[in-house]
Structure 1
Amino acid sequence: MGKKAKKEPETPTKDEFDPLSIESRRADTAVLMLSSPEEGVLAKACEAIRKFAEKGDENRITLMGLGAVEPLSHLISHDDKSVRKNAFMALGIMAHNGDVKKMLKKLDVIPSIIARLSPEEDVVIHEFATQCLASLALDFACKVQIFDSEALGPLIHLLSSSDPDVVKNSVECIYNLVQDLPSRVAVRELNGIPQLLGQLHSEFPVIQELTLRTLGHITTDKETRLAFREEQGLEKLLEVLTKKEYNDLHVEALQVVSNCLEDVDTLQYVRERAGLQTLLTFVTTPTLPEVQSNAVKAITKVAQSYENRKILHEQDVEKSLMALLAVENNRVRSATCQAVAVMSKHLASKDTFRHLGSIKPIVQLLSSESTEVRESAAHALSSLTSGNQLNAQAVFEAEGDEALVQQVQDGGAREVAYAASVLTNMAAQEALRRNILSQGVMQTLVGPLQFKDTHLLVSIIQAVATLASDAEGRTEFRTAGGLPHLVKLLHSYNTEVRRNACWALSVCANDESAASELSKLGALEVLQEINSSTNRRNRFSDITLQRLLDNNLSAKYSLTGHLSATDVIADGFYDPGQTRAGQKVPDLVDLSNQVISQRRPVIAVNGKPQDLSIHGLAEARQPDSASESRGASAQSNRSNSRAPSKAKQRDEDVSKPQQRHGDERQGLLPWDSQLCSLITEATKSILPLEEERDQLRALAVLVSNAMGGALSAEQQHDFLWELHLSELKHEEQSNIIPIGKIKKGTYIHRALLYKVLADRIGVGCSLVRGDYNRAWNEVLITEGPPKTPGCYCQPCVYVVDLIHSPGELMKSNSPAAIKYQRI
């Protein structure tokens, strides 16, 4: 065998390109290289871009401007593993920039990223793919797309990865996704709870914290809480809470625990395993303020249900909370007051807090420099005093009324609302109410009535309604200018504001002077409009309208055409004629200023001289005995150091003569001497009569004789009463005519005079307006002795004839009565 010939080197083919080493210092060159068909070039270009992007956000913006994002988004799906890995690393770093994320969203890159979460992929790809998803999941639209692309399953699977960065990014992405309910439910259904609980023992705090935050979101769902309990999640959380080395995790762990304890069964479950005691230990044991405040917040959240409050009360949670009121930390104090407010919904807890002496330190917190603490303290007191008069008394004894009034004056909306609520609860007691009034609270309450906050408005209005239950309170509120604001609130679109405004007005309308002012402010018209609506009408709107009318009989008769036997006509009454529903009743001041016209005259009642007699003035100066006793009672409850000087001044003001609304109207009218004479005659000649029928008949004859005597149907046409009234208007130089001067009166005039005289001598009768100048009086007469001993006869209604046969009593609905009432 011969020797092998030496193999000569092969000659390169003509179309082969010799290898070329490229070194570039420009980013745009690297971006151009992303279009290369060679895997090696692509991998190096991606690596260079990643290193450049890591140096800062400006570089990421530069790369995006050079067009690097789109080719990178394609390269993450490249067949070559090295290219995919480097492309993901570069894209993951760039995705930290907001503009890059927006661009990735437009490029619809999410499905490509999720496709690379499979177990077969390299761990580095998992790391940067999850990093991209975590960044994109901050955007709502991307979050929805990630969920719809079923990414939660692969992400939960990656929680078991051996690479901590993959786990951290996966937990972070899940945390961002579970901000929405569908993702929270999906985590449970995909059995993600055990995987998450496994991360509680991670050696990396950031993973533990992200896990607890994620659990905090998913345990807001009731079914998830049940699954969490079945996986021994509570035991694992309590284990975290009992380890000092996990102090930095206690805040987040407490949040998850508080979510779980919202369920009564879970609370009982934890209680049986001493877990509740562990929670209470965090409340009482000095530790970081943030941990203590979160422990208290957990108790507050747990106490939202009645059953949970009962269990917490059995665990003496009130003692634990009481201890925290002395902690020198505003967050702890605020959280404690909020817990007291919620626990005080439990009746037994209200008394427990008082017995423990909690009310005084809470009152002292009303003077805190912290707005949050002041608001929370007022909230606690509002709950403590609701339906508990002993607690209200305790607030008063701690001098809380002064601080609360100050809070109403100077506080923010929520402070004012809670403070007003406490004052309302305290004002249910007369002695406390008078002392609150002595602080000038009515003047203070007027300002907040102009706010827009509905919760605040309701609280303020309720305080006004309660404090105005005394005549002094009503006077102070009216003097402070509060009535116009209440009337304005009748127009509110909020049902609660409108209803409470009606309530407050119904209380204020107990005073005749306030009722008169409310009428001038248009309250009558607004209330009529409210009552005509099935949606806006309420119980208080009916009551308020009725009280306004009862204290303004002129308006009542004008609007309703009816005065009952209990509606006693006083001097100052006037009849302007019928006013349609919803229209404003003409005011006496306006009527007195009008020039003489052809319209029907206004009939006025004023049988008493304008100047008060010595006897009348003496009576006006007598202080109200009830008010005097109330003042004494209130004063005895105050210590000498807290003598209410304003209350003393108010008591002095009460002793001054008060001018009634009737007196004001009377001042606009001349003295009606003829009416005065008729009253005197009725008193002398009719009152002595023993029989009720005789009184009614005699009074009818008196009225008939005073206004032209009996008239037959034929005589009525020649009676010329309208001419007579026209002459009186010119004589008086006014459209207002005193009723006593009318010598030719028809139905409307005689019926009114009959009612006026009957009211003066104590004879009961009603006044009813009909159509076409008709009006009549109805009286109740008992028909004979009862047929059966011990029984009472039902009285019958009769109509009094004042025209044809004066004194005749016609049974209601009889042909004679109907003929008298109608033309």
Structure 2
Amino acid sequence: MAKKGKKPSETPCKETFEVVPVEGKTPATVVLLLSSPEEDILIKASEAIHTFAEKGDENKITLLGLGALEPLCQLITHSNKLVRRNAFMALGIMAINGDVKSALERIHVIPSIIDKLSLEEDIVVHEFATLCLASLSLDFVSKVQIFDSNGLPPLIQLLSSPDPDVQKNSLEIILNLVQDYQCRVVVHEFGGIPPLLELLKSDFPVIQHLALETLQNVTTDRETRNTFREEQGFEKLMDILNNTAVSDLHAEALDALANYLSDSESVQQIHESGGLTRLMDFFLTPNLPEIQSNVVKCITRVAQSPENRKLLHEQHVEKVLVEYLSVEDNGVKMSTCQAVAAMSLHLDSKGRFQELGGIPALVDGLCTECLKLREAATQALAILTHSNDTSAMALYEAGGHEILVQQLQGSCARSVANAAAALCNMAGQEVIRCSILAHGVMQALVEPMKSTDTQVLVNATLCLAVLACDTEARAELQSAGGLQPLVNLLRSYHNEVLQNACLAVNVCASDEPAAVEMCKFGALELLREINQSANRRSSFSELAMISLLNSNLSVKYSLTGHLAFTDIVSDGFYDAGQARAGQRVLSLEELSKKPVNQQRPIIVINTTTEEKTEDDGQKDESQPGSPTEEPWKMMDDVSLQVLVKETKESILPLDDEREQCTALARMVSEAMGGAVEMEKLHEFPWVLHLSELKFQLQSNVIPIGMITRGIYCHRALLFKCLADCIGMSSTLVRGEYNRAWNEVLLLSGNPSSSSGRYMVDLMHQPGRLLAPSTPAAVQYQTI
């Protein structure tokens, strides 16, 4: 049986399938329908998703989990307008959710969205496309994509849309983008300023706020400010400020105005048109604290240039600021202090603030518990008193100096720096300086000198240098422990800190006790290092070094080996020998406490005797077992006292200075063992003699009067000591191998002839005067 064959098909069926109504009761089903090829299904599915997503974040997350995002992103480019509109509605609503936004950023849908912002597109598409971009534009990467996809031009066009939602969304996107300078320029280039100004008249406050905030950002660009001026931007902002019905816009309007007025050319133009007077009238109008704070911030911005400060002064802006200093709100006061500081850079404004009573009002700000207000008040006072004695006196009369001294011990570095600057400015007047010192400023400055804040250190050291100009102040600083932190600042590599520290060291070195203590802390070693550095050396460091040495002749002689005619040795001077490179010269007290050693002795000068008072005797009797260590004191030197007395009685009365010099040289020689022939110098028992004295005294320190066998270095030191006692000009110069000599300045026998320098022979032919550089002089100086 043959197989049954298949009947050949006839013509294809031309009947279409009847419409089947589709009902999706679950989100998953509706999401699946987004992939349908049929437009009617797509329209209904995307509309259903929009309705579902509108009901809350939970639904949006559900749709995200079901994969609705990618098909929606494809549908926004669909050829059917209704499909596109519904897809954008669904996508825009979903993008509000943070998780959905993060997922959208990974899909890179931004170029497709921007493509649908053309004016030919449905206005509903505009609304939800911009809503989606507004959410995405909060992210930096998305902002870059919007800018790179040329999103700003169509967004600027949409600012003129008749739909307020489109306007609002577009403003939000632009505002997010113009945080970057490049975007601000593009907004200006594509004509964004006129529509932004037009939106200030919107019936919707949120749009007005966004427009003002955007203007505030874009007007930081100079070219944008020019366009702003051409479009009567100032007048439109003033219309807002003069309209009390929109007072909620005043703060942002002032912020935008501040940028515009930071340009001197703009200020000059509005001044010429009377606009500056209108602005001052508004400033004087009673307002809420928030508005007042923005007013003074605006003044501060305007007052950044000398030209603007001059115009503001002519408009009596000081009156506005002094009135604002009396308001209750601390925020307004703080902003006002900042404005006062800015305006005080104008010399005439300083006097005006003082005349209007602004300084007492600023002093009141110093007493508040608000740290920011105290900082701003101290800054204003520091600038007001700079190079202005009248303001400084007004601050003193208001009691501000006492509060500023207290501020030095505060925790706010800016306040401390400003307080130090203000006190430094005031200290130029003697009556004020004395009062500042009386309130313990030297003690208060110690802690700021330990600060890690550069400006605090700069101002504190300069303040110290100005205040420490008398012995009492320096003694107070020393007793307060301020010298060590001052010396530590010589290690600074900040030029201004180092310069001011050197200046303060120079001032403090005027007193020998302070100079000795600073040397103890290593000041000389640090200054030597500084002065050897090409980068750190300055005239201040060199001056500090000279002052320290001149106030501590023992150290000077040890380091330099030379004392000049003007260096007068006194009690406590000691010769510790030549200091090695980098070695600190120990104090006499430190040297005296060392155990007896084999090194050369320390020779000390002491012409006084410390007498024991009756109180000391009673103290010893009443506290026989006191564990307190007795303070160190120098050993008495009776023999030196005798020599000083003899010098004054027998040498000083001589009329001829040459005769005085010769007689003194012979006296020194006799006291030190008499003349010694050059050939027999090695037989002179000076080494043994000094060793015996060290053993006898059980000390490395020997009073010079006890030396009866001395050579060049001992005789030269004694000569210098006695010569200084009677006012005879003499140097002291150290050579090598225990050589030392003196040069004297003597007039020749002919009074009309020039004076001459001579070296004094104290060793071989006592009293012989040797002309410098002669063979005899050279032989005396060297072996």
TM (norm. structure 2) is: 0.90
Q: Structure 1 residues 448, 696: closer, same or farther in 2, change over 3 A?
A: same
Preserved CA contact (<8 Å) 2:686 2:711: yes
2:344 alignment partner in structure 1: 344
The reply to whether residue 822 of structure 1 matches residue 782 of structure 2 is yes
Residues 604 and 704, structure 2, Cα contact 8 Å, conserved in 1? yes
**Contact between 2:516 and 2:587, CA under 8 Å: does it hold in 1?**
no
Q: Who is 2:722 aligned against?
A: 757
1:318 equivalent in structure 2:
318
Which residue number in structure 2 is paired with residue 732 of structure 1?
697
Q: Give, in whole Å, the separation in 1 of the partners of 2:475 and 2:23.
A: 93
Letter in 2 for 1:671: D
**Alpha-carbon distance change, 208 to 744 in structure 1, aligned in 2, over 3 angstroms:** same
- The 1:83–1:351 alpha-carbon spacing in structure 2 relative to 1, beyond 3 Å, is same
**What SS is found at the alignment partner of 1:328?**
coil
**Residue number in structure 1 paired with 2:329:** 329
Quote how far apart the aligned CAs of 1:353 are.
1.6
Q: Name the structure, 1 or 2, with higher relative contact order (CA <8 Å, separation 6+).
A: 1
CA offsets 1:461-491 (integer angstroms, 9 cap, x no match): 3333333223332222222222222223333
Give the corresponding residue for 2:48.
48
Cα distance in 2 between the residues matched to 1:721 and 1:98: 96
What is the 5 A alignment of 1:210-289? 210-289=210-289
Question: Does the Cα contact within 8 Å between 1:592 and 1:668 map onto a contact in 2?
Answer: no
Q: In the alignment, which residue of structure 2 is the partner of 1:746? A: 711
RMSD: 2.9
Partner of 2:3: none
- 1:350-389 matches, cutoff 5 A: 350-389=350-389
Q: Does the CA-based 8 Å contact 1:751-1:767 persist in structure 2?
A: yes
Paired letter, 1:701: R
CA deviation after TM superposition for structure 1 residue 600, in Å: 1.8
Q: Are 1:811 and 2:776 an aligned pair? A: no
| Secondary structure in structure 2 of the residue aligned to 1:276 | helix
> Where do 1:132-531 residues align within 5 Å?
132-410=132-410, 412-531=412-531
CA distance in 2, matches of 1:452, 1:219: 38
SS at match of 2:610: coil
SS in 2 for 1:160: coil
2:586 alignment partner in structure 1: 586
Equivalent position amino acid for 2:372 in 1: E
Identify the residue that residue 650 of structure 1 maps to in structure 2: none
1:540 is aligned to 2:540? yes
C-alpha distance in structure 2 between counterparts of 1:774 and 1:52, whole Å: 107
Structure 1 pair 710–372 and aligned structure 2 pair: CA distance change class (3 A): same
Counterpart in 2 of 1:713?
678
After superposition, the C-alpha distances for 1:413-438 in whole angstroms (9 at most, x for unaligned) are: 32333233222222222212222222
Cα 1:493–1:96 change in 2 (3 A) is: farther
Q: Following the alignment from structure 2 to structure 1, what is the Cα–Cα distance between the partners of residues 306 and 232? A: 26
Displacement, 1:534? 2.4
Residues 442 and 30 (structure 1), Cα distance of their counterparts in 2 relative to 1, 3 Å cut: farther
Deviates more, 1:411-420 or 1:334-343: 411-420
The superposition leaves residues 563-618 of structure 1 with CA deviations (integer Å, 9 ceiling, x where unpaired) of 2222211111222222234321123233222222222221211222123899xx9x
Given that 2:716 and 2:741 are in contact with CA atoms closer than 8 Å, whether structure 1 keeps it comes out as yes
Report the Cα offset of residue 385 of structure 1: 1.5
Letter of the aligned partner of 2:653 in structure 1?
Answer: P
Shift of 1:285: 1.0
**Equivalent residue letter for 2:780:** Y
> Using the alignment, how far apart are the partners of 2:598 and 2:757 within structure 1?
37
How far 1:11 sits from its partner (Å)?
12
1:11-50 map, 5 Å: 13=13, 19-50=19-50
* Aligned position for 1:622: none
Corresponding residue of 1:676: 641
Separation in structure 1 between the aligned mates of residue 679 and residue 14 of structure 2, nearest angstrom: 142
CA gap 1:12/1:516 in 2 versus in 1, 3 angstroms = farther
Identify if the C-alpha distance between structure 1 residues 40 and 605 changes in structure 2 by more than 3 Å, giving closer, same or farther.
Answer: farther
Q: AA paired with 2:638?
A: S
Mark the runs of 5 or more structure 1 residues left unpaired by the alignment.
1-9, 618-663, 788-792
In 1, the alpha carbon distance for the partners of 2:214 and 2:383 equals 34
2:745 aligned partner: 780
Q: Using the aligned pairs only, state the percent identity.
A: 56
Rounded to whole Å, the distance in 2 between the matches of 1:71 and 1:558 is: 91
Q: What secondary structure sits across from 1:609 in the alignment?
A: coil
Asked whether the 8 Å contact 2:596–2:694 carries over to 1, the reply is yes
Q: CA deviation at 1:19?
A: 4.7
Which amino acid is the alignment partner of residue 770 of structure 1? G
Higher deviation after alignment, 55-64 or 393-402: 55-64
Question: Is this contact kept in 2: 1:282–1:291, CA < 8 A?
Answer: no
SS at match of 1:199: helix
Question: 1:667 deviation in Å?
Answer: 4.8
Cα offsets for 1:342-390 (capped at 9, x unmatched): 2111111111122222222222232234333333222222222211122
Give the C-alpha shift of residue 333 in structure 1: 2.2
In the TM superposition, what is the alpha-carbon distance from 1:530 to its structure 2 partner?
2.4
Hey, what does 2:619 align to over in structure 1? Answer: none
Task: Tell me which amino acid in the other structure corresponds to 2:309.
Answer: R
Q: CA deviation at 1:163?
A: 1.7
Aligned partners of 2:405 and 2:444 also within 8 Å: yes
1:798 aligns with 2:758: yes
Q: Is the 8 A contact 1:610 1:667 kept in 2?
A: no
Q: Aligned with 2:759: secondary structure?
A: strand
Change (3 A) 1:154 1:502: same
How far is the alpha carbon of 1:276 from its aligned partner? 0.8
Q: Distance in 2 between matches of 1:671 and 1:407?
A: 48
Distance 1:794 1:294 in 2: 77
State the match for 1:81 in structure 2.
Answer: 81
Tell me if structure 1 keeps the 8 A contact 2:520–2:586: no
Q: Structure 1 stretch 62-71 or stretch 511-520: which is displaced more?
A: 62-71
1:688 correspondence with 2:653? yes
CA distance in 2, matches of 1:554, 1:312: 61
Report the secondary structure of 2:408's partner residue. helix
Decide whether the 8 Å contact of 2:283 with 2:295 is kept in 1. Answer: yes
* Shift in alpha-carbon separation, 1:473–1:211, aligned structure 2, 3 A: same
Deviations 1:663-721 (CA, angstroms, capped at 9, x unpaired)? x9995331122222222222222212223333233322222232233334322232243
Aligned partners of 1:767 and 1:44: how far apart in 2?
111
**How far, CA to CA, are the matches of 2:587 and 2:88 in structure 1?**
85
8 Å CA contact retained: 2:442, 2:477 = yes
Structure 2 matches for 1:83-122, cutoff 5 A? 83-122=83-122
- For 1:722, the equivalent position in structure 2 comes to 687
CA distance in 2, matches of 1:15, 1:517: 115
> Are 1:703 and 2:668 counterparts?
yes
**Residues 283 and 321 of structure 1 are in contact (CA less than 8 Å); yes or no, is this contact kept in structure 2?**
no
Shift in CA distance, 278/683, structure 1 to aligned 2, threshold 3 Å: same
Q: For residues 462 and 38 of structure 1, do their structure 2 counterparts lie closer, same or farther at Cα, with a shift above 3 Å needed?
A: farther
CA deviations on 1:393-423 (whole Å, 9 max, x unpaired) are: 1122222233333333446332333233222
Distance (whole Å) between structure 2 residues aligned to residue 421 and residue 715 of structure 1: 67
Distance 1:511 1:59 in 2: 83
Deviations 1:486-524 (A, max 9, x none): 223333343333332333333222222222222222222
SS across alignment from 1:740: helix
Counterpart for residue 643 of structure 1: none
Residues 417 and 460 of structure 2 are in contact (CA less than 8 Å); yes or no, is this contact kept in structure 1?
yes
**Residues 46 and 86, structure 2, Cα contact 8 Å, conserved in 1:** yes
Give the alignment partner of residue 769 of structure 1, picking from 731, 734, 743: 734
Distance 1:681 1:257, change over 3 A: same
Distance 1:109 1:39 in 2: 22
Change (3 A) 1:754 1:526: same
* Offset, 1:286: 0.7
Amino acid corresponding to residue 329 of structure 2 in structure 1 = N
Native 8 Å contact 2:187 2:193 kept in 1: yes
By how many angstroms is 1:154 displaced?
Answer: 1.9
> How far did residue 67 of structure 1 move?
3.6
Contact map agreement 1:610 1:666 (CA 8 A) in 2: no
Residue 233 of structure 1 and its aligned partner are, at CA, apart by 2.0
